């Protein structure tokens, strides 16, 4: 899965569920923990999610 497609999927999941865990994303997407951490860092820098220790939460508007 291309990087941008994976990040869109992660952002959409956070938006609909309100919160995601790194371990769940690793299992569902079949990528390493480091890949998920980099994706979350990128999405957080864009203001699309809010990173937390174990995953991410939706941005409060």
Say yes or no to pLDDT of 45 above 80: yes
Query: How many separate domains does the chain show?
Result: 1
The SS3 of residue 61 is coil
What pLDDT, on the 0 to 100 scale, is given for residue 60? 77
Owning domain of residue 30: 3-58
The dihedral through the CA atoms of 40, 41, 44, 48 has a sign that is negative
Q: What is the CATH classification number for the domain harbouring 25?
A: 1.10.10.10
What pLDDT, on the 0 to 100 scale, is given for residue 6? 98
Convert the pLDDT of each residue in 7-44 to its tens digit. Answer: 999 999 999 999 999 999 999 999 999 999 999 999 99
Which residues are within 8 A (CB) of 52 and not within 5 positions of it... i.e. 6 or more apart?
Answer: none
């Amino acid at each position: 899965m291309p990087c941008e497609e994976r990040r869109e999927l992660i952002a959409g999941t956070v938006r609909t569920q309100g919160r995601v865990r790194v371990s769940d994303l690793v299992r569902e997407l079949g990528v390493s923990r480091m890949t998920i951490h980099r994706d979350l860092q990128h999405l957080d820098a864009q203001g699309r999610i809010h990173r937390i220790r174990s995953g991410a939460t939706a941005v409060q508007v």
